[in-house]
Amino acid sequence: MSLSFISAGTLDVPVFAFGMDVPDRTGLARFVPAPLVMTAIPMTIGVLRRANGEVVIIDAGLSRAEIAGPIRELGLQGLTMAVRGGPGVSAVEQLKARGIAPEDVTTIVATHLHLDHIGGYRDFPRASVVAPAAEFAAARRLGTRAGYVHVKEILASGRSRPVLLDREPKHGFPGWLDVFGDGEIVLLDARGHTAGSVAVLLTDRASGRSVLHAGDAAYQPHEYLSGKPSFFARLTRFREDWLKQTWGHLRNFRSAFPETPVLLSHDPRASHDLCTAFRL
Ligand SMILES: [Zn+2]
């Protein structure tokens, strides 16, 4: 299969902040106050093997070194980036285990440039980083404190590939770009979480099946279905009016293409289902 999904480890987060249900608890766990109940969220990455042998990944998670030593590599932000699973869960190690060398990855398409989505670019020395020019510009302006830890380094490396979306509707979204011109990877304008965040429509060549990787357009599906952002979605969003528009586009997409799964990076259920159905 040319399209697969992996999760580059999980992060422990408070369930309330992400709008998730507090699980039924037994034993001593019953005495933990609800705001302190933690759960594991995935960092879901798409892997597309193209007909010419090149490999494209959608997002990259944190790098191998960042997973091994988050505080050493990321400073204070590393406190919230303790990935479970050890360095073996990094994208580069999971790909290696399936016979894909770091050099085989020629392109990283970023749903957006926050650290938990692009840190792993360091492990793929030949890969260019594709994201809308608006995302690179905002990331450079807002900097490390807004979660854009790697953007200066990516820009200095000469591997950044800022792109402009065509300003006409596609699948209900207000802008789009077919990255390689063959329909395998189509960026759809899903800004709001960040200034230039995209949803990435991926199509498996062999089966014709598609998946929409919507990054952090929401953290959980009920946010865009109900229109109510979780605490963390509100905390991290770039512009709430854009976010709400994007949520409308996601709802319309689901109605128009009910057979195409919509994946949110950190949604445990969708991540598990897609990593199983599209196993690397
Ligand atoms: Zn994220």
CB 117 within 8 A of CB 108: no
Find the range with the poorest average confidence among 49-63, 70-84, 168-182. 70-84
Q: How far is the CA of 143 from the centre of ligand 1 (A)?
A: 16
Could you give the CA distance from residue 82 to residue 151 in angstroms, rounded to a whole number?
A: 21
Q: How far is the CA of 56 from the centre of ligand 1 (A)?
A: 19
CB 188 within 8 A of CB 171: yes
What was the pLDDT predicted at 1?
59
Could you give the CA distance from residue 238 to residue 242 in angstroms, rounded to a whole number?
A: 8
What was the pLDDT predicted at 114?
97
Q: How far is the CA of 38 from the centre of ligand 1 (A)?
A: 17
The pTM score is 0.95
Q: How far is the CA of 149 from the centre of ligand 1 (A)?
A: 13
Element housing 163 (H / E): strand 160-163
Q: How far is the CA of 28 from the centre of ligand 1 (A)?
A: 31
- The residue count of the chain comes to 280
pLDDT beyond 90 at 232: no
pLDDT per residue over 15-38, tens digit each?
Answer: 888 877 767 777 877 777 777 788
Q: How far is the CA of 202 from the centre of ligand 1 (A)?
A: 19
Better-scored residue on pLDDT, 76 or 57: 57
Q: What is the mean pLDDT of residues 51-77?
A: 94
pLDDT per residue over 240-280, tens digit each?
Answer: 999 999 999 999 999 999 999 999 999 999 999 999 999 99
What was the pLDDT predicted at 159?
97
**Phi first, then psi: what are they for 172, rounded to 5°?**
90, -5
What is the pLDDT of the chain when averaged over all its residues?
A: 94
Q: How far is the CA of 7 from the centre of ligand 1 (A)?
A: 12
Q: How far is the CA of 59 from the centre of ligand 1 (A)?
A: 10
pLDDT beyond 80 at 105: yes
Q: How far is the CA of 150 from the centre of ligand 1 (A)?
A: 14
Q: How does residue 181 score in pLDDT terms, banded at 50, 70 and 90? A: very high
Q: What share of the chain is helix, strand, coil (3-state, %, to 5)?
A: 40, 25, 35
- Structural domains present in the chain: 3-277 (3.60.15.10)
Q: How does residue 8 score in pLDDT terms, banded at 50, 70 and 90? A: very high
Q: How far is the CA of 132 from the centre of ligand 1 (A)?
A: 17
DSSP string, 73-135: HHGGGGGG--EET-GGGSHHHHHHHTT--GGGEEEEE-S---HHHHGGGGG-TT-EEEEEHHH
Q: How far is the CA of 27 from the centre of ligand 1 (A)?
A: 32
Q: How far is the CA of 266 from the centre of ligand 1 (A)?
A: 7
CB 62 within 8 A of CB 43: yes
Q: How far is the CA of 32 from the centre of ligand 1 (A)?
A: 26
Could you give the CA distance from residue 58 to residue 70 in angstroms, rounded to a whole number?
A: 22
